[in-house]
Amino acid sequence: MSELLASDPQPSVVDADFYRWLRDVPAVCAGPPDPDLRAVFEAFLYHEADLLDRREFGAWYDLFTDDGLYWVPIGDEADDPARAVSVAFDDHRRLGDRIAWMNTGNVYSHQPPSVTQRMISNVMVWAVDAQTALSRSAFTLHAYRRGVTDIFAGRYEHVLRMDDGRPTMIRMKKAVLIDRSSPLHNLTIIL
């Protein structure tokens, strides 16, 4: 991980096809979820949340594929990310920037750091093919810092790479906040 973050990160892979792929993701979620995949997905999502709560940002970053995306949209569901800003639209390189940035020790909004606790439920999973599955889940994130607890709530959408029937890597993590249309405080926290 550390050498990946050191310098000269790989060029971006976000191109017109990538945007097209993103626009098509929700359509795959039609139909009832697959109950057989739920347990392995829950285990993966809990592990991911635990890494973030323990501030193991490097290990969390390592879960992303080279063409992975961490995405926190703003505005209407229908907004095209190519024509809208997001709170985060982090391809692999910018996600590396974010982790390197947090590791500088000079992110003042992390001094002292927020103590966070994520909770995940309502996990629904759809298999796309042997290598890919999607999930939607509900999350709440309490973040305590300097006498104030901020609450973030919303929905996760994950596109995960599957190996031998288990999720192993994150192709996309999208966190859709319920209050994304109102002003938000201290979004330096990874959702």
Buried b (16+ CB within 10 A) or exposed e, 112-132: eebebebebeebbbbbeeeee
C-alpha span between 18 and 24 (Å, rounded): 10
Name which of 32 and 183 has its Cβ closer to other proteins: 183
Minimum CB–partner distance for residue 50 and other proteins (Å)? 24
Amino acid at 102: M
C-alpha span between 143 and 149 (Å, rounded): 5
Identified binder of other proteins from the candidate list 78, 104, 112, 151, rule CB under 8 A: 104
Q: Report the DSSP pairing between strands 115-129 and 132-145.
A: antiparallel
Buried b (16+ CB within 10 A) or exposed e, 24-53: eeeeeeeeebeeebeebbbebbeebbebbe
Name which of 7 and 27 has its Cβ closer to other proteins: 7
Q: Which residues inside 57-76 make contact with other proteins, applying CB under 8 A? A: 74-76
Residue 16 touches other proteins, criterion: CB under 8 A? yes
Residue 93 touches other proteins, criterion: CB under 8 A? yes
Residue 21 touches other proteins, criterion: CB under 8 A? no
Identified binder of other proteins from the candidate list 3, 11, 24, 32, rule CB under 8 A: 11
Give the interface with other proteins as residue ranges (CB under 8 A).
Answer: 5-9, 11-16, 18-19, 74-76, 79, 81-91, 93-94, 96-98, 100-101, 104, 106-109, 111, 181-188
